[in-house]
């Protein structure tokens, strides 16, 4: 007779670096994203929020998140220690914290709760997107948001920066609808879609507050 596995055994562990998620070179990355503060603001991050920058890389968006969250705080999580060291050097703000860890095991590393989990330019490479969505849902406050920045689902040859095609291979790119479908089993509902020219979009979804939950956090009202 098969033994009853413990709850621990039913939760798969970390999976390591996701495929096709290497940190881009700064020259074309900064050309593509010249104003990360404007991006973060457009995606609804504002003063007082508790934000997790999931797969923060070298901190290009983490620093902007910290500036926009003001009196709140930002935690950057990444599995690459060298990138994390660069992110730390760039975000001296005391409201910014960094954790080394796997995005599939967020709760072990930074349990939250967070008002926003922000994931930029990484979701396309996650092999088990439904499981990632469950991991995100587990650290969000009721009514909290999952914000995903993705490359548009266009042919890679069309997304040219500094004279060369950039970004993940065409087959890995997801439409907003496909992204939503991949995470919907974790209970996320679509809130807003933001166009981020020239080649990206931001999908904002939220985890509905339980009917008997107290009011949403102040920052989200
Ligand atoms: C393309 S970079 C994007 C970095 C940053 N979000 C940005 O947009 O500038 C993808 C990042 O995902 C990180 N990453 C990949 N797999 C991961 C995992 N399983 N857990 C945590 N971070 C991971 C990589 O180390 C890398 O820093």
* SS3 readout for 134-199: HHHHCCEEEEEEEEEEEECCCCHHHCEECCEECCCCHHHCCCHHHHHHHHHHHCCEEEEEEEECCC
Both tokens of residue 45? 């991050």
Q: What is the pLDDT of residue 2?
A: 37
Instruction: Give the Cα separation of 132 and 128 in Å (integer).
Output: 6
- Supply the DSSP symbol for 72: S
Which residues does a 6 A CB cutoff place in the pocket of ligand 1? 15, 17-18, 21, 23-24, 55-57, 60-61, 78-80, 83, 102-104, 120-122
| The pLDDT of residue 9 | 36
Q: Which residues, given as ranges, of the chain have pLDDT below 70? A: 1-15, 210-221
Q: What is the C-alpha to C-alpha distance for residues 105 and 85, in angstroms, rounded to an integer?
A: 20
Atom of ligand 1 nearest to the CA of 103: 20
Does any domain span residue 26? no
Q: Ligand 1 centre and the CA of 78: distance in Å?
A: 6
Q: Does the residue 28 lie in any domain?
A: no
Q: Is residue 18 part of a domain?
A: no
Tell me, yes or no, whether 138 and 91 share the same domain: no
Q: Residue 30: inside a domain, yes or no?
A: no
Ligand 1 center to residue 127 CA distance, Å?
Answer: 13
Number of structural domains (the chain) is: 2
Host H or E run for residue 206: strand 200-206
Say whether both 87 and 140 belong to one domain. Answer: no
* Per-residue model confidence as pLDDT tens digits over 30-85: 999 999 999 999 999 999 999 999 999 999 999 999 999 999 999 999 999 999 99
Let me know whether 95 and 137 are in one domain. Answer: no
93 lies in the same domain as 139: no
| Residue 137 counted as domain residue | yes
Phi, psi angle pair for 13, to nearest 5°:
-80, -170
Measured in Å, residue 151 CA sits from the centre of ligand 1 at 14
In this structure, which residue's CA is closest to atom 25 in ligand 1? 80
Q: List helix spans (H) across 33-156.
A: 36-42, 60-69, 81-90, 106-109, 129-137
209 Cβ contact list (under 8 Å, min separation 6) = 142, 143, 216
Q: Are strands 96-100 and 73-78 parallel, antiparallel or unpaired?
A: parallel
Q: Is 208 exposed, middle or buried (0-12, 13-18, 19+ CB in 10 A)?
A: exposed
What is the pLDDT at residue 93? Answer: 85
Residue-number span of the structural domain to which 179 is assigned? 131-150+157-197
| Alpha-carbon gap, residue 132 to 126, rounded angstroms | 8
143 with 181, same domain: the answer is: yes
CB atoms within 10 A of CB 22: 12
Q: Whose CA is nearest to atom 26 of ligand 1?
A: 57
Q: Is residue 67 part of a domain?
A: yes
CA dist 74 and 64 (Å) reads 10
């Amino acid at each position: 007779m098969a033994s009853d596995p413990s709850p621990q055994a039913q939760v798969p562990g970390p999976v390591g670096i996701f495929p096709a998620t290497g940190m881009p070179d700064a020259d074309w990355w900064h050309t593509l994203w010249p104003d990360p503060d404007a991006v973060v603001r457009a995606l609804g991050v504002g003063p007082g929020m508790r934000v997790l920058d999931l797969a923060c890389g070298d901190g290009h968006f983490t620093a902007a998140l910290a500036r926009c969250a003001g009196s709140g705080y930002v935690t950057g999580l990444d599995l690459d220690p060298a990138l994390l060291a660069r992110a730390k050097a760039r975000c001296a703000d005391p409201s910014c914290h960094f954790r080394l860890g796997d995005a599939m095991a967020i709760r072990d590393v930074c349990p939250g709760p967070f008002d926003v989990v922000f994931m930029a330019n990484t979701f396309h490479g996650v092999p088990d997107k439904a499981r990632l969505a469950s991991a995100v849902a587990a650290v969000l406050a009721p009514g909290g948001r999952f914000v995903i920045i993705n490359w548009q689902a266009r042919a890679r040859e069309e997304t040219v920066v500094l004279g060369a095609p950039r970004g993940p291979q065409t087959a890995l790119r997801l439409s907003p609808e496909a992204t939503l479908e991949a995470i919907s089993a974790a209970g996320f509902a679509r809130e807003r879609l933001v166009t981020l020219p020239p080649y990206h979009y931001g999908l904002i979804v939220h985890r509905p507050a339980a009917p008997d939950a107290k009011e949403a956090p102040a920052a989200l009202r």
